[in-house]
Structure 1
Amino acid sequence: MLLPSLLLLTLRMVCQVLAVDYEMLIDDPDVFADCLENPPGAKGASGLFNLDELTFTLNGDKIHVEGNVTTVWDVEPTDRITASARLMQLDRGIWQPTVFSIATQDFCALMYDKDQYWFKYWTRYVEDMDAMKSKCVNHKGTKLVHSPFDINMVLSNVRGTTLHGRYKIVVTLEAFDDEKNVKRPESICMEIIGDCERL
């Protein structure tokens, strides 16, 4: 019994030692770009939010964010919103999928969930979060007021794969009318492009 326990402990320690942190250095100070391979009916970040009151300032390897966004996506407040984010790698001129992705079938239920990546990088900075929890990106005209924050895209404790080179995060949002079981024709697709480096 002691030998298997020691072996398990040793393997666990080796796995922890082999874990690596990576940082994605975003090269566009506006952060979001429209998807290069836009699905039919998809709009970019400006189809989701009015960004006129939001400023991005490139500060070394971080992007400083200040201001507000107002939702402009023309869907119904009762629509269910699905969301996904996929990390793609540029390999010989072609964007290839990686093993890293997240998705939810009900983004609004998880928009302010502290265990989600978007909370870590975005929604935790929304002021008056308790009042905003009843709103989502499907409530046109909702203003999200942000406390100033820095975007520092770090992937922690990555095991089993090496990240080096050109990458992009493809974010898609789709709205569904669950009563009619119909997907709305207008969706959102945006990309964050940069280089990954080992920390």
Structure 2
Amino acid sequence: MVIMIVVLLLLYGVASSWATDYELLLEDPDIFSTCSEGPPGSINIRQAMNFDDLVVDQEADTLHLSGNVTVIWDVQPTDRITAKLDFFHYNRGSWEPTIFGMATQNFCSIMYDKHQYWYKYWTKFIANRHEVEKKCLRGPRTVLVHEPFDLILKLENFNGPLLRGRLKMVVLFNAVDELNIPRPNPICLEIRGEALKLK
């Protein structure tokens, strides 16, 4: 019995160590969806930021982005911004949490940290870094000037449990005042899609 358990664990370890590539097919052409189960009082990303000057073109598995986003989120310049990102998998009629996620209690302090995913996929393309580092996502009227960049909707050499079917990423930004009391208007957004195994 013990030998059988050891063999099964070894097989699982070998199977989960094989790298897999995935492509994400977005469900919503607008990319961002309103959270289906956001916290009370939450607002969607388009209520917190003006995307009128951002250009997004999708070509196969690549999003071409350029232009500006203006923060209109009604929070105070002294607030601390928290951020949380979680992945969910759709299974038998409901969204189930996965093991993938990350969170920070002070997003502004790490938004330009080169070791963070936020930086790799987003903030390194914000050209007016000095202004944004100072104001962060605290508006009003903070402008995020993006240099043109491509976001490839592929996950390459992924080592972990097999991904399949519908997935969603839920991102939550909250402003916390100087007394550590959360503001009543957190930003909640979802990005939904389907993971397709490539190899």
What value does the CA root-mean-square deviation take over the aligned residues? 2.1
Match of 2:9 in 1: none
- Spell out the pairing of 1:58-73 with structure 2 (5 A cutoff): 58-73=58-73
**Contact 1:125–1:148 (CA under 8 A) maintained in structure 2:** yes
Letter aligned with residue 47 of structure 1? Q
Q: CA deviation at 1:17?
A: 5.5
Give TM-score, length-normalised by structure 2: 0.86
Q: CA deviation at 1:56?
A: 1.6
Unaligned runs of 5+ in 1: 1-13
Give TM-score, length-normalised by structure 1: 0.86
Fraction of identical pairs, as percent: 46
How many Å separate the matches in 2 of 1:192 and 1:137?
19
Match of 1:83 in 2: 83
Match of 2:20 in 1: 20
How many Å separate the matches in 2 of 1:68 and 1:110?
21
* 1:4-33: CA deviation from partner (whole Å, max 9, x where unpaired): xxxxxxxxxx68961223232223221111
Give the 3-state SS of the residue equivalent to 1:120 in structure 2: helix
Give the 3-state SS of the residue equivalent to 2:22 in structure 1: strand
Q: CA deviation at 1:196?
A: 0.9
Would you say 1:150 and 2:153 are equivalent positions? no
Unaligned runs of 5+ in 2: 1-13
Match of 1:184 in 2: 183
Shift >4 Å, 4+ stretches:
14-17
Cα–Cα, structure 1 residues 44 and 54, in superposed 2: closer, same or farther, change >3 Å?
Answer: same
Q: CA deviation at 1:92?
A: 1.1
Match of 1:113 in 2: 113
* 1:48-102: CA deviation from partner (whole Å, max 9, x where unpaired): 2111111222211222212100001100111111101111111111111001001
Cα–Cα, structure 1 residues 156 and 106, in superposed 2: closer, same or farther, change >3 Å?
Answer: farther
Cα–Cα, structure 1 residues 112 and 39, in superposed 2: closer, same or farther, change >3 Å?
Answer: same
Match of 1:11 in 2: none
